[in-house]
Structure 1
Amino acid sequence: MPGRTGASLQGLIDRHDLIAALDRAATKQVTIVSAPAGSGKTSLLRSWSEHTGSRTAYLSIRPDQYDAQLFWLALLAAVRAATGSAEPPPRPPGFDGPAAIRSELAAADDEFILIIDDLHELNSAEAIPQLTTLLTTLPAGVHAVVATRGESRLRLQRLRLAGELSEIRGAQLPFTEDETRELLATAGVTISDRAVAVLQERTEGWAAGLRLAILSLAGHPDPERFVAEFSGTDRTVAEYLLAEMLDHQPPEVQRLLLRTSVLDRVNGELADLLTGTTGSERILLALEDANAFVVSLDHERTWFRYHHLFRDLLRLELRRTDDVHELHRVAARWFADHADVAESTRHLQASGDWTAAAQMLTDHALSLTLDGQAATVAALLHSFPHGVRGLALAHAVAELNRGRPDEAVAHLEVARADLADAPVDHRHRLRTTIAALDLLAARLRGHFDGIIERVEALPSTTSMSSADVVLSNDAHATALLNLGVTAAWSLRLSDSEKYLLQGAEVAREIGRPYLEVACLAHLGFTATRDASARARRYCEDAIEQATRYGWAAEPVIAPAYITLAGVLSWTGDFDQAEEWLARARNAVPSGGEPGTQLLLHLAAATLSAGRGRHEDTLAELVAAGQVRMAGRHALIGRVLGWTIETQVRLGQLAEARAAVAAVDDHLASTGELRNAVAVLHLAEQQPAEARAELRSVLDGTAPRNPVLTLIEANLLDALAARALGDDESARASAERALHLAEPDRILLPFVMTGAAPLLAGLPTHGTTHAALVTDILDATSTHSAAPAPAEALSKSELRVLRYLPTNLTRPEIAGKLSVSLNTVNTHIRHIYIKLGATDRSAAVQRARELRLLSAGRA
């Protein structure tokens, strides 16, 4: 077991043949030990782990383990205990357990054994294939042993074909007569050879039966007669032997074994509470040392479990002698006091107190889900009989976790109706949770119309008890996250930023890094309204934090990837945008949240538009328009407007006209649609109509999305003015577009509108944005890439390089950059050397060949 060293545990014998079989098996990658209950699997593995001398991590899976996250956290903790790592496992949900464990194992500097006992208790459909993947990709030097009842559910055919799988079956585990004799001698029991043979024959070498018999024989006045009198097989033998064994135990041991059998795991404090005595831990330690069906579960030997068959038989006996329901109620109170909500709920259910169990689960369903126990919540809900009231909120949490928001909304309506019947001191908490889930359901349905107005203000924590504040924190942080995301979809970006910052702060304070990262991942989008540089910073901060927790490939960080890809496309950094878009695609699950799916298509369309791939742009925009959203969202104008513009650029004028004709009055008044109609007018040689359409966008009376729309409107106005022969207005509109684009160096609208010829005609001495013009012209050029210079230019040199194609003098460049003339001269000298140029013109030409003046490098 983890951390156990020294001599073999008392009561275990060295089963030479099986130990040798395990030694041989350890030369392969994985060993499966498959045998029925009571066959001695656990004792064999414990004995072998003491024998190997290799570093060993041992995990006994808790009964009814439904949650993959909890399984991986427990296994990671066992591995870290074996490697001596003090670092605590990351908090769920959203951490890659197999990857974390593989990384830990790969870092081990010697042979390592990973033992997983009681695999049959792992009831997570998600964890089984993940464990299969881990076992088939173990680092060199690591051997895994998995013990289970019956057939293994792991799919290890590839290992079998490769000769890397060993199997030990139940038929190999029965004790031989010699082993039975040695087991008796180890326990200090002396009987004749004939009695040994009878005992081995009647138990058929069954480990559980032999151990029960030995526990009875140890205190029996006539061991020979005892062996001669019992007969039978399987459970009959076990029940007989259990009764005999209990009869020979001191009263305090009998009481402890029986009353604590209601538990799946027990410690000294809980055993004292159930027995009404003290000293239980001492008894449990002694029972484990005697190998009396007791196994410690942790390094410190504070938690124990009984062998499953032994526990089941004790429970049968307990029903004849004690008030089982009261014992469950006592256990429920203890687990509730020690923050183990799932165990407390199970014991309340077992006690028959369904009302208390429902309230316990409802109060904590959201927190359990955030802790990675969503499957446990579902299993607990399934255990309630039909008709138990008060579970609507827990059902809503479960349905949202399954991605079924419509069903969740129905449960939320029931929960809202039940508020009046809830205890007064619970209503604040329930109202907060309902608000949080309302918003989450709106996100998952893509239904944002009026949802924020429907949600009541979050209750102030100052009016709550301290217990309520603790329980409400998860709901409060979740509500702020979903409020922020929902506000963003309504383009209330200032409100969204405020909510998300508050949500991240609350999540940080209560130790919910997953919620914190979720808030940070959406913050970038809120900043796109006025500052792409700030949006980029938000995204990069979120990505850094997600990477630190191992969530770089999880859906939680996908919004940051998508926003960053979009912002980089705005600034013409198309190569980097392509990389982040690829990460976003890998992180976004198919059939996931509709809002995220739509944003992904929109970001892909933005990138394709910047690269001039109009067919790809249209395909992504059509896909964005087909994402199933239950209501109208604020980005519909951008999607539809860009769709019409792209149709025009592809020569699909009839389709564009039909799309414009189908637009309702509300959408037709938005800046995005007015720009689209202007693009159509320009294609139809109607520049005057185009300028008229753009007037309300330019004067600010038309509702519009971020600055992108206004830059585009000015460029379209410039193109229309030039078509009308009004060069002065054309220059003025182009200059306004450059002025709006300069702070964040936004290039995309210039590329999309084909404004390069317009800018090429601007005299460099007549614009205050000469360097930006150079970047834009460079972004629209089709120069092929050339080999990189021998020595890369520094960031400062690249800044100076950007001004070389202009007519600005060196002192003017120094003024633009707020540096000394001497600094500019030094940088230019270095640029010439690195580019192999002798003058300014040659340096610019060489830089263009190397694409150092492209928007991505500017």
Structure 2
Amino acid sequence: MVGPRHARMIIPPTSVHTIERARLVALVEHRPVVVLAGMAGYGKSTLLAGASRRQQVKGAAIWLGLDDSDRSPARLVADLVTAVGLSGVEELASDLEPLRASAPRAEPLILVDSLLEVLYGAELPVTLVLDDVQELIGAKGSIELIDHILKWAPANMRVAVAARVAPPLRLQRLRLDDRLTYLRHEQLAFTPEETSEAMHTAGLHLDAETVESIHSATGGWPAGVRMAILATRQYGEHRQVPTQLRRDQALAEYLATEVLASLSDDLREFVLDATLDEQVCPSLVDSVRGTRNAEAMLERCVADGLFLSRRAGDAEEAWYHWHPLFAAHIHRRVVADYPERATLLHAAAADWWSAVDAPTAIRHAVAAGDGERASRIFANRWLELLLQGRTDAMLQALEQVPEGSAYAGDAHLARTLVLVQDGNTDDAQAQMHGATDAAALLPPEARPEFEDRMAVVELFRTGYGLGLRAAATPGAALLERFHQAEHRPDPAVLASVQMFVGMGRTRLHAEPELTLSMLRSSAATAHDTGLLALELSALAEWCIPAIAHGRLREIRDVAVDVLARADERGWVGLATLAPAVAFLGFLDYWQGNLEEARAQLDRSLTMMLPFDSDLRVLILDYLTQVCLELGDLATARRYITEIQPLVDSDRSARWWHSMLAALEGLVLLAEGHTREAVALATQPMTEPEYPMARAHRAKVLAHAGRPVEALAELDLMPRGRLVQVDCLARCVEAEARAQLGRPDAHASLEQALAAAGPDELFGPFLGGGKRLANLLKAHLDHGTAHATAVTQVLGRIASGHRRGPVGEQLTEREHAILRYLATNLTNEEIAKAEYISLYTVKTHLAHIYQKLGVGNRRAAIRRAAELDLY
């Protein structure tokens, strides 16, 4: 009969719902030593019990679950001898008897050597499992005995060690000799497939979405999945299980008894405080605890497998992620057992988060019972959230703000803008009346800033209702009011108005120097106050009027950098970044990279502000030209149809009519309707002139065989305003002069090449047709200062591609960085490997993304694989 003492020397029985985890079985049985380190419930004992039972079929399995008594080396050795005897190997019985007799008097190390000698003599394979080794932490003598066993174990013996924390064993030599498999909780966690199998084995046949939600809620923690199975049976409503698990009392008791109770006092106190949020960083934890050792303690939790993992990334400060169920239940225990402590923690967290993430700060302020603090945070940050495109987050924060607050007026302002975005003008007006009434409740010192925010909302309503151009004049008046006011306006308000006015002036084509200065000022104000989304939005908008300055590659670098920095924050689809994406599409068109241009322009259309009709017309204009060059006449005609109502609307700029007429002529010519195209191109221009309109009209006339009229049209065209338009005009001029047999065609072509060279604006040459290609060949013989450019253009024409392979466009350094993307290295680790700065890595990545036509790392990996760039 097996007594209570011997129960921990028997292999645990298999649960009826245990699943076979083939991927881990192979790892456990691959090397002579395996160490499993993970907190309670990760299936360590279950996994090793299965391996032991398999070992019994062909040899012997020795099981010893350690407890506090084994901290004595003598008791540990005695238990080992007993466990070997209980393994059922008859041929060892006679050799073990002398060891049992001498155990009370023998030196533990000598007795271990004697035990190993007995096992050496066995002719069958042996597995020794030492479970719960965390019981020996701090027991130096017992740890040394296990190290001795690992070092001198016979060749026929496999040793498996399981512990809830990283065991303090000497494992480095085993690693170097490739004799060790070390599995942490990340590997021990269920995969999505294993979670699904566990559900199925338990008789639960759930849909894939429900299983995925349960796997996400539990993080693959096997004990959590088991609790989910029980909760599913208890509550019946499958889709509510993730929520119920956060409240499940059985799971709470399990964590309290199996996890918290096993921790040292200092670590337990740390965990109770540090699980206030699922995502934490050292400065946050130190702030709420009033300490300076959070980083060391967090790393200790990671090393001990205490339901905490370090997040990969390039942030200056490391961020950590608690298992969501663990954090939820531990914090519920704090609230229940130490309510005053929980209130202080939430209040401190609200202060820390207020400068980082307003919704989280508001949540903590509400949890602390401080509604006024929550309202104040919302008032200070809601506009920034809206500018970040985080409307949902703003609305969630708004739901937490208590009614009747002195800052309730900002709730009305926030709702106003949301309603305006949705086109609900009547309800928006009602909310503005509510904001006006609420302003009377504010303390006098708070009213000026609130009135500033009201003015911004009114400005946005004007832009949403009448278009950005209509907001330029009232926006400028508002800036003048800010300048004359006694109080300094809130930076978010000031930068927002500056950006909005700059956007309006850009759509008016008014004073580009002043417009650029205003957008730069907006970006600088936002940068100085940490308003990154606003800074990036102002810089993205700056890319459009900056086109008038030329130096398009420099503008491209700004656009690429803006989008790369936005991607790091997950703001890829932010509406106010659409101008940067559109600019990259414009540049690709002028450089002759048509497929890339089409992708960028299509993407910008999906992002942009719904009321920005001017930018929409401009993007559709370029998309029409791209489709014409690609020969996709049906889509080009469709875009013309989309442009027409925008141009005919009351909000339309008058110059768009000349643009549309010129586009229509190009499409008609491509469709073979030459007479109609010429008739349209020779109609008098009665509206203000769009910069490219005359160049397009001249192109229609030149390609229709009417070079004299084409040249006459170009003579009326102002030069020097836009380098890309000048390049196009000179190309058309060269074609027309060549048709007339004029020798100055080469002078026009040389001027076109000079305009194109700095930014490689080869699109007009590639789209010029066979006649221009022949002229370029003759130009080489004629003599040119731009022979390299001519050769590149002719090479691309000869290859039948509008651009060379993507791989050829990547620099050698970009190729090197691209190869790292398929690894799991962070940007910081790539920088160290290449001996370059982190900023340089990010710049290279931005250029790679732009050249591949993608927006993030994962898409770049896929695209590079498709192009065989690895």
TM-score (normalizing by structure 2): 0.48
Structure having the larger proportion of residues in helix: 2
Structure with the bigger RCO (C-alpha within 8 Å, sep 6+) is: 1
TM-score (normalizing by structure 1): 0.48
